Structure formats: C-alpha cells, structure tokens
Amino acid sequence: MRVPVPLTLALTRLVAHASRLAGRGSGATLPGALAQRLDPGLAGLLASRLPGGTVLVTGTNGKTTTTKMLAAVLAAHGQRVVTNTSGANLATGVTAALVADADLRGRPRASMGLFEVDEAALPAVAAALRPRCVVVLNLFRDQLDRYGELDTLAATLARGVAACTATVVLNADDPRIAALADAAAPGTRVTTFGLEVPAASGSSQGTAGRTTEDAQRVAPGDADRCPRCQGRLVVSRSYYAHLGHYACPNGDLTRPSPDVAVTALGPATTAGSTFRVASGDTELDVAIALPGTYNVYNAAAALAAAAALGVAPDTAVTALRTVSAAFGRFERVEVAGRTLYLLLVKNPAGLGQVLATFLHGAERPHVLLAVNDAAADGRDVSWLWDVDLAGLAATDPVVLTAGSRGLDMALRLKYDQIPARAQPSLRAALDTLLAELPEGGTGYVLPTYTAMLALRALLGQRTPTRGEAAPAVSR
Amino acid sequence: MGVRLTIAHLYPREMNLYGDAGNIRALVQRLRWRGHDAEVAAVEVGEPFDLAGADLVFGSGGQDSGQAIVGPDLLARGDELRAAVAAGVPVLAICGLFQLFGHGYTPLGGGRIPGIGVFDVDSVGGGERVTGNVVLDTALGRVVGFENHSGRTVLAPGQAAFGRVVRGVGNDTASGLEGARTGAAIGTYLHGPVLPTNPHLADHLLAAALRRRGVDEPLAPLDDTLELAVAEAAAARPRRT
C-alpha cells in the first residue's frame, strides 16, 4: 500500500529539521533517503507538478557554478526555482530539495526545478524527473576510485541524456560530450556551446618520439580518441585540458559548430571575464564576475540552456552579470589585514585551470595547497601527479601544504623542484600563511572539497569580512 | 661520471589514467640528483622503437578501451620485451600493463587480449572494483600505495609475487598476494604513484639499470625524509577513508 504523500512529506520534513538541529550539515541525505524509502515515486510526482519542468546540470567541473548562473537567469525570467546544493547532488539531495519546497499536500511552491546532479546519479535522477533540459558540461578524470573509467562514465551520462524530454545542451569542445548527441531521444533537440576564439596553444599532434617530459607539459589527455571509432583525434585548437577543436580522421565525429559560440574574449584578469557570444543572428556582449576560461564555458552553457528555456538573451546576459562565485570557488576573504582567495580544486583539469587563471605570471605568490582524501575529495591522491606544475614553478612560489595528504602534496612539489613546507594542521597552515603574508598581501588557498569546508569553518571563527569581487589585477 | 639512461615509457597516451607518470618523474629526478640523467622515450602504438636500447622499461594503466588498442602493439614487441627481461633490464609494469605482461586479460564483456607472458599470470576483468590504501611486505621492504582495479590476477604456481598484502586486497580476493616478479621485472596494481612514495623501490630499479651500464658504485643516498614521512602517513591511513 502506498504511503500517503502528505505523510511522507511530513515525516521527511521532521527528519530534515532534526538533522539540521543535530548539526548534520544541510540535512539533505537522511531525509532524502527516507522519502525515497517511503515513496520511491515521490520525487517524480513532485517534479511533474512543477509547471516549468526541471533542468539538470551535470559534468565533472562547473556544475555548481553553472547551476548558480542558471538560477539567476531563471529568476530574472520570473521563475521561482527549487534547487539543491553541491553537497546534495545525488538522488537523495534532489528528492530532499523537492520535498522541502512542496506543501503538505505535495504541491510545489516553485515553478521550476533546477538541480546539479552528480554524473553517476544522472540516469536515476533523469528517469525519475523526466527533465525538459539536461546540460552536460564536460568529462575529466576525477576521483577514479569512485567513478571508474571515463568511458564508463560517458555511457552513464548517455543514459541520463536519453531521459531528457525536450533539449539537451552539450559542450561542443569536449569530444565525449559532443558524442552524447547520439543518446538524445528522437524528437529532442540538441544544442551546443563552445569557443571559437584563437587558442593560446597550437595543435598537439601526439607524443610519439617526443620525450614524455615534454608530453607531461600538457597534462595527459582525457579525450585523445574518437568516442565513436577510437581513431586518434586530430586536434587543431586547444583551450584547456582536452577542450578545443578536434576531428576524427575517419570522419566519425566532427566537432559541431556551436549554437552558442564565444567569438571573442576580453583580456584575462582575476576579477572576471568579458566576452562576445554569437547565438543564431544575435551577438551579445557578456560580462561575468568570475575569471578563467573555465567560467566562460560555464556561462556559455548557461546561455545555451537559457535560450532553450525561452529566456530572452538580454535578460540572461543581465542576470549573468550579477552572479558571484559559489562558495569555496573563488571566494575572497579578508583576514587580519590580508586577502585570501579560496579556490576549490578537485582534479587535474580544475587545478590546472586555477593555477593558470590566478597564478600565471605572479611573482612569488603565497600558496596553500590543502589536500584531503575523504570520500568527497577522492581517496586516491595519485591524481596530483597528473597536474602540470611548470607554470606554478615559474612563479617561484612560497608554498605551504596541509590536509590529510599534505605530505603527498609536498612530495609532488618536491619532484617539480618547488620547495614546500607541509604543515601539521589546517589551522597551523592558515596561521603560517597569514603570518608570512605582508600587510595587505594576497594568499591563494587551493583546497580539496572537505579541506575547503574545514578551512571555511576556521575562517568563520576569525569572523572575516567577505570581500566583493576584487578589482582587476593586471599581470 | 654521469650516465644517461634511456627509459622506455610504454604507451603514455593510452595508458596514463592513474597518475602513474609520476613514477617517471621520480626515476628521472632521482637520477639527476645523483649526477646522472635520463632520456624518456615514448613508445606509442604503431611507432617503431628499438627496445634493445632501453635501460629501463615502464608502463601503467588506462581504460579497457586503451588496453584493447595497445594489446596487439605490445604483442608485436613481445620478442623484444621478453629478450630485455631475460637480459636483466628492469621493468615496472602497473595495472593494465601488468596484466598484459602476463598471458592475457579478459575484460568483463569478453574479448580476451593476449599478453606477452613475461609473468606467468592470467587476468580477468569484472567483479567489484577494489579500491583503497594498500600496505605490502616485499623482498625490498615495505611498500605502500593505492589500488583501484576491477581486474583479478592469478599467479601460476612458481610465479613469484611482488609482495604479500598486509593491508588491502591485492591480485585477487583469495591469495593475499600482490603483483608479480620475474628477474628484474616487477608487475603491480599499485598506484600512489608507487615510486615517489617508495624511493627504495625506485632506487632498486635505477641501480639495476645503472649496473647494466657498468656503474657498480651504490647509488648516493638522498634525503628521503619527506618520502618516508609520506609512506608512514599513507600506511597509517585507514583502508577506506
């Protein structure tokens, strides 16, 4: 006999409340799991009652930021959005968010659902929610102990894409993602986003004959081969990691010409990005308060989804301007007369982008790399050795390491001839970082996920004042 | 008088998924810190390479799809590789390449990939993925690392293992053994990467390579305080954090 919906909702809310009182985080996992147990169809039922339907955002890097961008866009479009947080992006978290939004009779207060979804969880969540739009950002090696191979994960994403009912938004510059167009159900539209600007680096044709030390200057590729025929892709342009322009030599995969194309990029600053986007006949000038090529991609994804959801381009662009960084990702904290940037890192592609965006060309920057190995961080820290540190080494940095794998991080740096001092605790590391920074100086804190949570808590104890986005620092 | 070793890095493009390029970094840097040097040559699928000139051979793991691509290429180089092993060239073969240095690997979906039989072992895919921190007891001392594999490898009677599992799973769920060892060739599932964290293992491989090049003096000791601290900390991590 099915548990009556109001009962499930009431019980779940009770548990969520108790969970929060007990200090167990946002109180999403337990209540979400309970709701699923009592009524496995509840999430789908609640989602079906959202007049504007649901949008899912997935991918290795950028889910949280792109979701935040889309939330602002949809709000500007007059939608009341129910959403989840990055700490709750599994099925349990999505369910908990829907439950929290609904009244006791199971009617949602929101008009639309917008959820970031863990890559492995996408098929189940998409099957339950029947989303009108699924946005797939990228696929990079990340927590391989949890996710297994990239090919497997791509196949998982394909099952999620197949459950989308109206529009699939894909990154044209990521071969595995572009190939997910194969998985879109008949009758659904595929829309793509990507970069069309000249690249910083030229083509990378292969490593045969080159010493692998040269090859390591480019981090090992996550998408060297055509997902359809396994032929070696010919890369003509490289934006970062494996994102760029590619073609299968056997003609099995051609990079789609992006529907939302970034055609010009303003000068790189650490304050944010300006760029021009071509979408159909329209050209838009976009400014966002988030720096780095990776955030240009996130914004392009948000614009592509916005167009698919019927948001006027001007509305979307205006909304994007207001978006500040998601917590832990380019968070600026003023402490004891110094400025600290908190820059979450999770995998080689992300760490590479953070280093390139914030530390490229810096002189003797003060850096704290805080590496934990809890489940949420990735328990296998081998990934640190897939990161290209040549750029960092060139800045002659002052580096501290910390976290449960702070010693491993120091060892990684040692083999790139970068002196680093492992600290006995996160607190000690923060103290040392601040003590070594001159008055008014800027420190860069690069933590993995749980280290980021812990450091934010420590900084909270110091009652920091949150800064606004920094004025441009030209390099 | 410094020696320049040639390190043959097998299939760095296809087989590079688990940070194992760090092993190359460790080998090269530890040579340089002793006044020697290394040239690291990438051996790619379809590209000719004279393995007779290699002083040390290294290869690691990747995806099943990568293994299917390198398998036939490795077979074509089988005679050269077996000759190198017989001649005492040190080899470190990790994960997917460990499997292919055995008799072969059969993925979960079938489609056996024959190997070159340096190790008298056979591997099958499938089953639960085995992941977690590992501590081994080996003839070279304690070795710590991280395993992440769904493959299972069985040693034929008479095939020496690399080590005995103190904590972790190892080659399969029954034997308590990890990896394989034949002459100067070592196969293992351990990531970490295994050489930076276990410098005595790196130096063992380097010393074997240098001796073959006429360098008999023992390697000058390096300050491995950090490495030892990392290994201590890694050994103390829970199996699953």
Mutation target to probe the B interface, by most B beta carbons within 10 A, among A152, A153, A233, A385 is A385
Cβ proximity of A288 and A55 under 8 Å = no
CATH 3.40.50.880 is the classification of domain B4-236: yes
> Cβ of B146 and A145 within 8 Å?
yes
> Cβ of B44 and A215 within 8 Å?
no
Chain B partners within 8 Å of A207 (Cβ)? 12-13, 42, 44
B204 is catalytic: no
Q: What does the CA dihedral B201, B202, B203, B205 come to, rounded to 10 degrees?
A: 90
Catalytic residue (choose from B95, B103, B149, B204): B95
> Cβ of B42 and A141 within 8 Å?
no
Q: What does the CA dihedral B75, B78, B81, B82 come to, rounded to 10 degrees?
A: 140
Closest CB to A414 among B129, B226, B241: B226
- pLDDT for residue A202: 33
* Burial letters A237-261, b for 16+ CB under 10 A, else e: bbbbbbbbbbbbeeeebebbebbbb
> Cβ of B150 and A148 within 8 Å?
yes
Q: Which residue intervals of B42-182 are DSSP H helices? A: 64-76, 78-86, 96-100
DSSP three-state, residue A12:
helix
Closest CB to A220 among B21, B28, B146: B21
Q: What does the CA dihedral B40, B42, B47, B51 come to, rounded to 10 degrees?
A: 50
A407 interfacial to chain B (CB closer than 8 Å): yes
pLDDT, block means (10 residues), chain B with 241 residues: 93 87 96 97 94 96 87 97 97 97 93 96 90 96 95 97 97 96 97 96 98 95 97 89 67
Closest CB to A411 among B40, B64, B227: B227
Q: Which helix (H) or strand (E) holds A72?
A: helix A63-76
- Residue from B160, B11, B148 nearest B71 by CA: B11
Beta bridge partners of A287: A274
- pLDDT for residue A475: 23
- pLDDT for residue A372: 97
A415 interfacial to chain B (CB closer than 8 Å): yes
Each domain of chain B, given as residue ranges in start order, spans 4-236
Q: Which residue intervals of chain B are DSSP H helices? A: 21-32, 64-76, 78-86, 96-100, 194-197, 199-212, 225-236
Cβ proximity of A305 and A70 under 8 Å = yes
What is the ipTM metric for this complex?
0.95
E strand intervals along chain B = 4-10, 37-43, 56-59, 91-94, 104-106, 113-114, 121-124, 130-138, 141-149, 152-155, 163-167, 177-178, 180-182, 185-188
DSSP three-state, residue B68:
helix
Cβ proximity of A362 and A355 under 8 Å = no
- Phi, psi dihedral angles at A353 (to 5 degrees): -65, -40
- Residue from A370, A373, A378, A377 nearest A399 by CA: A370
Q: What is the pLDDT of residues A273-308, one digit of tens each?
A: 999 999 988 999 999 999 999 999 999 999 999 999
B103 is catalytic: no
Q: Which residue intervals of A82-205 are DSSP H helices? A: 91-101, 122-129, 144-147, 150-162, 175-178
> Cβ of B131 and A225 within 8 Å?
no
Evaluate whether A5-321 and A329-466 have a shared fold: no
Cβ proximity of A317 and A447 under 8 Å = no
> Cβ of B237 and A150 within 8 Å?
no
Cβ proximity of A258 and A190 under 8 Å = no
Give me the tens of pLDDT residue by residue for chain A, a chain 475 residues long.
678 889 889 988 888 888 878 766 556 788 888 888 888 899 999 999 999 999 999 999 999 999 999 999 999 999 999 999 878 999 999 999 999 999 988 999 999 999 999 999 999 999 999 999 999 999 998 887 777 788 889 999 999 999 999 999 999 999 999 999 999 999 999 999 999 998 764 333 333 333 444 444 445 667 788 888 888 899 999 898 899 999 999 999 999 999 999 999 998 888 899 999 999 889 999 999 999 999 999 999 999 999 999 999 999 999 999 999 988 888 999 999 999 999 999 999 999 999 999 998 899 999 999 999 999 999 999 999 999 999 999 999 999 999 999 999 999 999 999 999 999 999 999 999 999 999 999 999 999 999 999 999 999 855 333 332 222 222 2
CATH topology of domain A329-466: Protein-Tyrosine Phosphatase; Chain A (3.90.190)
- What whole-number distance in Å separates Cα of residue A76 and Cα of residue A84? 18
Catalytic residue (choose from B9, B36, B149, B191): B191
Mutation target to probe the B interface, by most B beta carbons within 10 A, among A411, A413, A414, A417 is A411
B229: closest chain A residue by CA: A407
**Up-side HSE of residue B43: CA atoms within 13 Å toward CB?**
24
Chains A, B: CB contacts within 8 A come to 138
Closest CB to A215 among B42, B129, B196: B42
Which of A:98-117 have CB within 8 Å of B? none
Q: How far is B233 from chain A (nearest CA, A)?
A: 8
- pLDDT for residue A287: 97
> Cβ of A373 and B132 within 8 Å?
no
A210 interfacial to chain B (CB closer than 8 Å): yes
- What whole-number distance in Å separates Cα of residue A96 and Cα of residue A89? 10
- Is the link from the previous residue into B193 a cis peptide, with omega within 30 of 0? yes
- pLDDT for residue A85: 82
Token code pair at residue A148: 């297994």
Could you name the CATH architecture of A5-321?
Answer: 3-Layer(aba) Sandwich (3.40)
A354 interfacial to chain B (CB closer than 8 Å): no
Q: Which helix (H) or strand (E) holds A366?
A: strand A366-370
B45: closest chain A residue by CA: A208
DSSP-derived letter for residue A323 is P
> Cβ of B12 and A212 within 8 Å?
yes
pTM metric for this prediction:
0.90
- Edge to edge, what strands does the sheet with B185-188 contain? B37-43, B4-10, B56-59, B91-94, B185-188, B180-182
Cβ proximity of A66 and A6 under 8 Å = no
Which of A:226-245 have CB within 8 Å of B? 230
- What whole-number distance in Å separates Cα of residue A29 and Cα of residue B21? 37
- What whole-number distance in Å separates Cα of residue A14 and Cα of residue A20? 10
- pLDDT for residue A20: 78
- What whole-number distance in Å separates Cα of residue A341 and Cα of residue A305? 30
Q: How far is B63 from chain A (nearest CA, A)?
A: 6
Chain B partners within 8 Å of A151 (Cβ)? 63-65
A216: closest chain B residue by CA: B21
Name residue, tokens 């055995």. Answer: B102
- Residue from A320, A408, A449 nearest A61 by CA: A449
Each domain of chain A, given as residue ranges in start order, spans 5-321, 329-466
First to last CA, chain B: 46
Chain B partners within 8 Å of A213 (Cβ)? 24, 28, 40
